[in-house]
Amino acid sequence: MALPDVKALTFDVFGTVVNWRDSVAREAKAFLGPKGYDKDWHGFADQWRARYQPAMAKVRNGERPWAKLDDLHRENLVELLPEFGISDLSEAEIDHLNRAWHRLDGWPDTVEGLTRLKRKFILATLSNGNVA
């Protein structure tokens, strides 16, 4: 297909449009820091995200039924918290922290770049992340 014939662009969101790593680290620090936790928050974000593919593999190979990414992230968070020595969070607090994935910052050039691309192309995301 010739480039002038391209009508639409599709792309992933995590890492491409949003800076999930810094955003999740910021959210964890802002929420857990005042509770007395001083951790490697980027390491926390990395370890949380590292559980994504194994959780998805269980869905893909039929070990578990389809699940929303929010649910997988929460299950992974519940497993991760004790590994970082974080305890005594209520269910509501865990839910709040899990929604860090809904509060991701775009890269500095995201809005400008997408706005420019939208002038010429239809844009669509290919992501299993929450649209929030």
15-48 pLDDT, tens digit per residue, is: 788 999 999 999 999 999 999 999 999 999 999 9
Rounded distance, CA 20 to CA 95, Å? 18
Q: Which of 104, 99, 75 is nearest to 17 (CA)?
A: 104
What is the domain count for the chain? Answer: 1
Mean pLDDT (the chain) is: 93
Confidence category of residue 9, pLDDT binned at 50, 70, 90: very high
Residue 57 lies in a domain: yes
Residue 131 lies in a domain: no
Q: State which residues form the domain around 29.
A: 3-125
55: Cβ–Cβ under 8 A, 6 or more apart, which residues? Answer: 72, 75, 76
pLDDT value for 2:
75
Q: What CATH number does the domain containing 91 carry?
A: 1.10.150.240
pLDDT value for 107:
93
Q: What is the pTM of this model?
A: 0.87
